[in-house]
């Protein structure tokens, strides 16, 4: 294959790779930009197969300006990482349009070593790692192919061998070389999704059930005694403006209340999200560094991160027996002139009851005796009095509708109430003993205050759909078809097929171990591993081990290269080289005939064996017919006899 054909073939493969990456990153980089990259790659493919002519420099420059405009219009400066990746993708895609020589192809493949790993900024699961590793190996093979003019298959095989050789060394260095904090750090990519928001419009919350992405995993010790339903608190919304429930300034205050531990610690591994708020089972305080807790006992991280976060939580009971007057006013405040029918109903119940529990009983009776329906796709409500329209009109909704309505009714009666958003349930993985909670498990409920007791949980959704309390939303059989239709194309949507569900569970199991032991391998875990391996000598032995490992690795590589060179020689040549060391002259300057004559002069008693050795060697090297097995054995015997006589003399 000619050099020109090699370049054409490899750039064609790179174009297909960029087409695939554009399809995978369309949610992160925007539809318009990814379609632009897709069209550029299709144009390159068309030129490679001869369907259209190669573009001129003017056309390429115009395309470059178009890509820059598209990037700024679709992303802008507010999304720095996305803009950087988009510009890099656009530059590499446009560069491929003008590739026609080895030097130009090499520049593209060198750029690809920076471009392909950018995919890892948006997804760090095991499948993303395997994809990026495969692309880098392919790119290394393409670089070898066009540089040394060898077929792509052979160069990829060479790349894979080098990767396999270096992998154990890389693992050892990651495990033992001390981790240092970065000198500088890029801002996190803002593409992580979550089912939660700091400002909640309950009648827009139906979008939560459309995502099957993992929110977090939790490892609960059996000794804790936690039993379903599991309510994972994340955000408290204590300010209501008539439509949205928002967070007050109290969210920024540190915890000042006393508390009592209630159980042993448990571990949560949270996926990246677009909020700082993390998840606790009921009330809890962080037991890990880098995690904070606010006035309400809600835990949060200081800065957003684009990788999973593992942390421990200590379950506690906060001392909420007393409530300041200003906090009471905050949690009973309602805007004026909204939902008059709901206000009238709440005041009627308040007049008929003398306790909070009696009021709740009235409210429960109203929801259970009316024709309320739990649905993942409720009708939209756009009027000013949304709660009135829901309670006395549509009566179709899910968690956000019921929680917001109940909180409004209770605040009208002067009961301090707040909305809580988080997750409900979780699917137990029995093999690794953890609970997996997905975005479609996002849930909203109510917390109300009882004097001298504290905050209590109330979930109005349980009155309308008791089955929702039994576990994950995926387990709700009454809404199975509606749930799967909302998910769209995903493995979860086809989990009723046994083979698909098995594949989904295996991938989740693999990703769990990848996240826990690789992505979350921090300095704390490294220190524990080193201390376990080296004991009290862990301060200097790891460094010594790494040095010895490097020496052994490069020594083995040197030996392998020499052995491979020797093993590639024909058998008769390897036997002949053993005779070469007997000559005093530079044997590589002599022909085999001259070498044998010199050795006959030096050791006359081996002349007969040298003549026979040369005869067989000449037949093996210069005749078409190879030596037989018997002749090879004779050649080896003659070699040993000559060396033996030389040593005796």
Flag the least confident range among 20-34, 365-379, 489-503: 489-503
Where residue 242 falls (left for φ over 0; alpha for ψ -120 to 50; beta otherwise) is left
In tens, the pLDDT along 370-404 reads 989 888 778 878 788 889 999 998 898 888 899 99
d(CA 587, CA 576): 11
The full 3-state SS of 507-532, as one line of letters, equals HHHHHHHHHHHHHCCCHHHHHHHHHH
Token pair 């081990």 in the structure block, residue: 545
3-state DSSP helix/strand/coil percent for the chain, to nearest 5?
Answer: 60, 15, 30
pLDDT at 191: 42
Peptide bond into 90 cis (omega under 30): no
Where residue 395 falls (left for φ over 0; alpha for ψ -120 to 50; beta otherwise) is left
Taking Cα atoms as reference points, which of 218, 193, 339, 324 lies closest to residue 268? 218
- Give the β-pairing of 284-286 and 280-281: unpaired
Answer yes or no: is pLDDT of 546 > 80: no
Mean pLDDT of the 349-364 span: 94
Count the Cβ atoms, other than its own, within 10 Å of residue 47: 19
Answer yes or no: is pLDDT of 329 > 80: yes
Token pair 């006359």 in the structure block, residue: 604
Which H or E run contains 598?
helix 592-602
pLDDT at 331: 93
Higher pLDDT, 174 or 287: 287
pLDDT at 305: 75
pLDDT at 208: 44
d(CA 376, CA 210): 9
Which H or E run contains 611?
helix 607-622
Count CA atoms closer than 13 A to 107's CA, side-chain side: 13
Answer yes or no: is pLDDT of 48 > 70: yes
Confidence of residue 523 (pLDDT cuts 50, 70, 90): low
d(CA 94, CA 36): 11
Answer yes or no: is pLDDT of 32 > 70: yes
Q: What is the mean pLDDT of the chain?
A: 81
d(CA 624, CA 157): 32
Answer yes or no: is pLDDT of 11 > 70: yes
Report which listed range, 154-163, 304-313, 446-455, 537-546, is most confident.
Answer: 446-455
Please state, in angstroms and as integers, the Cα–Cα distance from residue 147 to each residue in 13, 17, 44, 137, following that order. 16, 20, 21, 15
In tens, the pLDDT along 559-580 reads 766 665 555 667 777 777 777 7
d(CA 426, CA 428): 6
d(CA 532, CA 520): 18
In 427-537, DSSP assigns E strands to 427-429, 434-438, 442-450, 454-458
Contact criterion met (CB below 8 Å) for 373 and 396: yes
In tens, the pLDDT along 605-615 reads 888 888 888 88
**How much of the chain, in percent, has pLDDT values that exceed 90?**
20
For 135, list phi and psi in degrees, rounded to 5. -65, -40
Contact criterion met (CB below 8 Å) for 575 and 635: yes
Confidence of residue 369 (pLDDT cuts 50, 70, 90): very high
Flag the least confident range among 46-50, 90-94, 131-135: 46-50
Answer yes or no: is pLDDT of 206 > 60: no
pLDDT at 192: 42
Please state, in angstroms and as integers, the Cα–Cα distance from residue 361 to each residue in 332, 357, 365, 442, 475, following that order. 20, 6, 6, 26, 28
Contacts of 387 (CB under 8 A, 6+ apart): 338, 339, 342, 404, 405, 408
pLDDT at 350: 94
In tens, the pLDDT along 156-179 reads 888 888 888 778 777 777 776 666
d(CA 398, CA 473): 12
Contacts of 227 (CB under 8 A, 6+ apart): none
Which H or E run contains 577?
helix 571-580
Answer yes or no: is pLDDT of 327 > 70: yes
Flag the least confident range among 211-225, 302-316, 531-545, 630-644: 531-545
Contacts of 393 (CB under 8 A, 6+ apart): none
Answer yes or no: is pLDDT of 190 > 50: no
Q: Is 302 helix (H, G, I), strand (E, B) or coil?
A: coil
d(CA 515, CA 24): 21
Answer yes or no: is pLDDT of 268 > 90: yes
pLDDT at 406: 95
Contact criterion met (CB below 8 Å) for 500 and 494: yes
Higher pLDDT, 470 or 322: 322
Mean pLDDT of the 640-646 span: 81
Taking Cα atoms as reference points, which of 278, 21, 250 lies closest to residue 138? 21
Answer yes or no: is pLDDT of 502 > 70: yes
d(CA 179, CA 559): 32
Give CA angle at 104 (130, 43), nearest 5°. 75
Q: What string of DSSP letters covers 33-72?
A: HHHHHHHHHHHHHHHHTTSSPPPPHHHHHHHHHHHHHHHH
Distance, CA of 413 to chain centre: 47
Contacts of 231 (CB under 8 A, 6+ apart): 281, 282, 422, 424, 443, 445, 457, 459
In tens, the pLDDT along 417-441 reads 999 999 998 888 888 888 999 888 8
For 21, list phi and psi in degrees, rounded to 5. -65, -35
**How much of the chain, in percent, has pLDDT values that exceed 70?**
82
Answer yes or no: is pLDDT of 80 > 60: yes
What is the maximum alpha-carbon separation in the chain? Answer: 128
Please state, in angstroms and as integers, the Cα–Cα distance from residue 445 to each residue in 195, 326, 406, following that order. 14, 23, 9
Task: Copy the structure tokens of residue 575.
Answer: 């036997």
Distance from first CA to last CA of the chain, Å, rounded? 56
Count the Cβ atoms, other than its own, within 10 Å of residue 2: 8
For 164, list phi and psi in degrees, rounded to 5. -65, -40
Higher pLDDT, 103 or 564: 103
Taking Cα atoms as reference points, which of 133, 185, 179 lies closest to residue 156? 133
pLDDT at 620: 80
For 410, list phi and psi in degrees, rounded to 5. -70, -40
pTM summary value? 0.69
């Amino acid at each position: 294959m000619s050099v020109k054909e090699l370049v054409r073939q490899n750039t064609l493969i790179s174009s297909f790779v960029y087409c695939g990456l554009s399809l995978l990153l369309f949610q992160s980089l925007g539809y318009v930009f990814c379609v632009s990259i897709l069209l550029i790659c299709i144009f390159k493919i068309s030129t490679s197969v001869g369907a259209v002519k190669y573009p001129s420099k003017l056309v390429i420059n115009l395309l470059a300006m178009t890509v820059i405009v598209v990037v700024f219009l679709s992303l802008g400066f507010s999304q720095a990482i996305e803009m950087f990746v988009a510009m890099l993708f656009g530059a590499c895609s446009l560069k491929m349009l003008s590739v026609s020589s080895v030097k130009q192809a090499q520049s593209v493949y060198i750029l690809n070593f920076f471009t392909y790993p950018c995919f890892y900024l948006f997804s760090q699961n095991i499948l993303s790692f395997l994809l990026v590793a495969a692309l880098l190996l392919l790119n290394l093979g393409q670089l070898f192919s066009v540089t040394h003019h060898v077929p792509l298959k052979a160069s990829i095989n060479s790349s894979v061998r080098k990767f396999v050789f270096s992998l154990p060394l890389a693992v050892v260095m990651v495990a033992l070389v001390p981790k240092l904090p970065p000198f500088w750090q890029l801002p996190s990519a803002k593409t992580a999704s979550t089912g939660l928001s700091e400002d909640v419009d309950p009648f827009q919350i139906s979008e939560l059930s459309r995502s099957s992405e993992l929110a977090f995993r939790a490892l609960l010790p059996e000794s804790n005694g936690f039993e379903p339903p599991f309510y994972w608190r994340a955000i408290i919304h204590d300010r209501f403006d008539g439509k949205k429930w928002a967070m007050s300034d109290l969210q920024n205050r540190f915890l000042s209340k006393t508390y009592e531990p209630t159980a042993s610690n448990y571990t949560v591994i949270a996926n990246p999200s677009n909020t700082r708020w993390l998840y606790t089972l009921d009330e809890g305080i962080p037991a890990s560094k880098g995690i904070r807790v606010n006035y309400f006992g809600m835990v949060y991280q200081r800065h957003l991160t684009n990788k999973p976060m593992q942390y421990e939580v200590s379950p506690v009971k906060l001392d909420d027996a007393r409530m300041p007057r200003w906090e009471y006013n905050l949690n009973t405040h309602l805007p004026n002139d909204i939902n008059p029918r709901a206000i009238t109903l709440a005041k009627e119940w308040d007049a008929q009851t003398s306790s909070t529990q009696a009021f709740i009983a009235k409210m429960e009776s109203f929801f259970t005796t009316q024709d309320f329906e739990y649905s993942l796709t409720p009708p939209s409500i756009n009027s000013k009095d949304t709660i009135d329209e829901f309670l006395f009109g549509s009566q179709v909704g899910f968690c956000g509708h019921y929680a917001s309505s109940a909180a409004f009714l209770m605040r009208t009666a002067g009961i301090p109430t707040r909305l809580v958003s988080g997750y409900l349930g979780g699917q137990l993985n029995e093999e690794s003993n953890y609970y997996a909670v997905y975005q479609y498990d996002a849930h909203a409920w109510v917390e109300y205050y009882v004097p001298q007791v504290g905050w209590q949980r109330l979930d109005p959704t349980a009155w309308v759909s008791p089955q929702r309390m039994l576990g994950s939303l995926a387990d709700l059989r009454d809404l199975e078809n509606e749930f799967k239709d909302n998910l769209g194309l995903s493995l979860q949507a086809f989990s009723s097929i046994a083979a698909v569900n098995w594949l989904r569970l295996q991938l989740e199991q693999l990703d769990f171990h990848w996240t826990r032991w690789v992505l979350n391998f921090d300095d704390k875990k490294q220190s524990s591993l080193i201390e376990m391996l080296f004991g009290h000598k862990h301060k200097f032995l790891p460094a010594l081990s790494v040095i010895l490992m490097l020496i052994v690795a490069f020594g083995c590589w040197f030996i392998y290269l020499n052995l491979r060179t020797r093993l590639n020689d024909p058998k008769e040549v390897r036997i002949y080289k053993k005779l070469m060391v007997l000559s005093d002259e530079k044997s590589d300057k002599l022909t085999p005939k001259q070498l044998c004559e010199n050795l006959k002069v030096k050791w006359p008693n081996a002349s007969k064996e040298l003549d026979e050795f040369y005869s067989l060697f000449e037949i093996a090297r210069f005749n078409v017919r190879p030596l037989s097995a018997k002749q090879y054995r004779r050649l080896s015997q003659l070699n040993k006899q000559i060396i033996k006589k030389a040593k005796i003399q």
